[in-house]
A and B are shown apart, each in its own frame.
With several copies, the nearest count.
Chain A
Amino acid sequence: MKGASCRGVDRRVLAARIAQDIPEGSYVNLGIGAPTLISNYLPGDLDIVLHTENGLLGMGPEPTAAEVDPDLINAGKLPVTELPGAAYFHHADSFGMMRGGHLDICVLGAFQVSQAGDLANWHTGDAGAVPAVGGAMDLAIGAKQVFVMMDLLGRDGTSKLVAECSYPLTAARCVSRVYTDRAIFDVTRYGLAVIEVLGDSSVEHLREVTGLDLIDAVPKHPAATAVGSAS
């Protein structure tokens, strides 16, 4: 298969795949946009505590229409619910929690990720764009593991996994793992390692579309392909 003609998995499949890598007992922030989908795939019988930076740990699923409460929203300003065991706190405490390294995992969308783990997800640098950073920089520097969820290729077919970010950075060397529609990559000290291929892609194909020297770390024995929690 050649170039952009390969088909990746869709976002819901990718969200479900990421959900598998979130161990029970984790404290997790799911960023605005696609990462929010992951909550739909976290097993309901596991205790995974979701954080929203606007002041809640123990965030629950979307409310029914009757339950919508204007005082109970997530970072994307959508209505949510609270679970038993929840706790509210103010913004300085919430960001202290993030900056202080207490969250186990955050999952963020991205415009670009570099092979060194640099993240660009807040600004395209376009002169006409209204810049908005929100809590992205705090999450990127603060969580113990930063997962990125994104399409491997942009709409114009260019790779979002890059040698060096051309967009303004959110934070340098902060990304642990990149989940794309075509493969999962670990950021290692030796460069990006493909740890799992998704859809009908291949390591060869991934090297071609990204133009990067990717390390092939896909387990050769299918029985061993289930990736557990990130190391």
Chain B
Amino acid sequence: MISKVVSDPDDAVSGIEDGSTILMSGFGMAGHPVALIDALLDQGAGDLTVVSNNAGNGDTGLAALLKAGRVRKVICSFPRQSDSWVFDGLYRSGEIELELVPQGNLAERLRAAGAGIGAFYTPTGYGTSVAAGKETRTIGGRGYILEYPLHGDYALIGAFRADRWGNLVYRKTARNFGPVMATAARITVAQVDRVVGLGELDPETVVTPGIFVDRVVATGERHRLHDDVAPAEVAV
């Protein structure tokens, strides 16, 4: 029997080595796998490269990992936010490396890693400073830069529901980077609010097929997601 379900977030992040590249889903806090990142904080791996749209919000999730000095480099599109004080401080003091990637190139590089594409020509960033040092080409009269896939050792992603085969569905705009990151890592770990029985997810609506997922952990229904959660389900 395939069962990718593990009992708690600590099991879910076990084995992550120092120096790993970790893909972390989320756009701000929506879809950000906070329970997995908290477990990673306890787990101890350091010298990490983190790929995530933002570079941490407030003091939880990625921000907490940054604050603990466990991240060597961040690859992201939008580090500067009203509540990115942890990253901002590290960046200004030269304690962290930043690779800034336009958001669409970040998503496409992750997709390319998952889909076996060797490299691709993108118009985004052509003629700007993010193209510095990159190969360019004119195709059909338009300028493009060559971008390479972005692979992760681990992906930590936040989703909504899973089954024991690792099939995932997401919820609203918390979907964001989860589906592409799930395809781009050697080991993909998903935190979901709840694991449902095999066959309970409609095959037409699965967003991430289980083939891309290695470990699943349920972290409990969240409050304030009233639209499809019956009161009896809220306590987990």
Interface residues of A in 136-181 (CB under 8 A from B): 136-138, 141-142, 168-172
User: What is the distance, in angstroms, from A34's C-beta to the closest C-beta of chain B?
Assistant: 16
Partner of B30, one of A54, A84, A103, A171: A54
Which residues of the partner chain B approach A96 to less than 8 Å between Cβ atoms? 104, 108, 111, 114-116, 183
The secondary structure that dominates the B interface is loop
Which residues of the partner chain A approach B100 to less than 8 Å between Cβ atoms? 131-133
Q: Is the CB of B111 within 8 A of A68?
A: no
Interface residues of A in 37-83 (CB under 8 A from B): 47, 49, 51-58, 68-74, 77, 82
Q: Is the CB of B124 within 8 A of A99?
A: yes
CA distance A102 to B104 in the complex (A): 14
Partner of B77, one of A58, A84, A132: A132
What does the 1/0 interface line of A189-208 toward B look like (CB < 8 Å)? 00000000000000000000
What does the 1/0 interface line of B93-132 toward A look like (CB < 8 Å)? 0000010111111111011011111000011111111100
User: What is the distance, in angstroms, from A32's C-beta to the closest C-beta of chain B?
Assistant: 10
CA distance A3 to B27 in the complex (A): 43
Q: Is the CB of B183 within 8 A of A47?
A: no
Which residues of the partner chain B approach A136 to less than 8 Å between Cβ atoms? 102
A119 and chain B: residue at smallest CB distance: B128
CA distance A137 to B122 in the complex (A): 11
Given the known inter-chain contacts A70-B224, A85-B198, A171-B127, please indicate yes or no for A97 contacting B211, CB distance below 8 A: yes
Given the known inter-chain contacts A52-B173, A57-B211, please indicate yes or no for A92 contacting B179, CB distance below 8 A: yes
User: What is the distance, in angstroms, from A119's C-beta to the closest C-beta of chain B?
Assistant: 10
Q: Flag whether B180 is at the interface (Cβ < 8 A).
A: yes
**Residue from the set B105, B180, B211 with the largest chain A CB neighbour count within 10 Å:** B211
CA distance A82 to B204 in the complex (A): 11
Which residues of the partner chain A approach B1 to less than 8 Å between Cβ atoms? 24, 47
A172 and chain B: residue at smallest CB distance: B127
Q: Is the CB of B124 within 8 A of A70?
A: no
Q: Is the CB of B103 within 8 A of A95?
A: yes
Which residues of the partner chain B approach A169 to less than 8 Å between Cβ atoms? 127-129
User: What is the distance, in angstroms, from A130's C-beta to the closest C-beta of chain B?
Assistant: 4
Q: Flag whether A91 is at the interface (Cβ < 8 A).
A: yes
Which residues of the partner chain B approach A92 to less than 8 Å between Cβ atoms? 107-108, 110-111, 115, 179-180
Q: Flag whether B234 is at the interface (Cβ < 8 A).
A: no
Which residues of the partner chain B approach A138 to less than 8 Å between Cβ atoms? 102-105, 124
Which residues of the partner chain B approach A82 to less than 8 Å between Cβ atoms? 172, 203
Q: Is the CB of A137 within 8 A of B102?
A: yes
Q: Is the CB of A95 within 8 A of B107?
A: yes
Q: Flag whether B154 is at the interface (Cβ < 8 A).
A: no
Which residues of the partner chain A approach B199 to less than 8 Å between Cβ atoms? 84-85
Interface residues of A in 67-123 (CB under 8 A from B): 68-74, 77, 82, 84-92, 94-103, 123
Which residues of the partner chain B approach A55 to less than 8 Å between Cβ atoms? 27, 173, 175-176
Q: Is the CB of A53 within 8 A of B116?
A: no
What does the 1/0 interface line of B117-161 toward A look like (CB < 8 Å)? 100001111111110000000000000000000000000000000
Which residues of the partner chain A approach B91 to less than 8 Å between Cβ atoms? 130
Q: Flag whether A185 is at the interface (Cβ < 8 A).
A: no
Stretch at the interface among B11-19, B59-67, B163-171: B163-171
CA distance A25 to B1 in the complex (A): 7
CA distance A141 to B126 in the complex (A): 9
B165 and chain A: residue at smallest CB distance: A85
Q: Flag whether B45 is at the interface (Cβ < 8 A).
A: no
Given the known inter-chain contacts A70-B30, A73-B28, please indicate yes or no for A90 contacting B203, CB distance below 8 A: no
Q: Is the CB of A89 within 8 A of B125?
A: no
Which residues of the partner chain B approach A72 to less than 8 Å between Cβ atoms? 30, 172-173
A-B contact pairs, 22 of them (CB 8 A): A24-B2, A49-B165, A51-B211, A70-B29, A70-B224, A73-B30, A77-B30, A84-B199, A85-B164, A87-B167, A88-B204, A90-B176, A90-B207, A92-B180, A96-B111, A99-B115, A100-B116, A102-B211, A133-B78, A137-B130, A142-B124, A171-B128
Q: A73-B173, A74-B173 are in contact. List 4 more A-B contacts (CB 8 A).
A: A54-B30, A70-B30, A73-B27, A171-B127
Nearest 9 interchain pairs by C-beta:
A84-B199, A96-B115, A95-B104, A99-B116, A138-B104, A87-B206, A132-B80, A87-B209, A91-B107
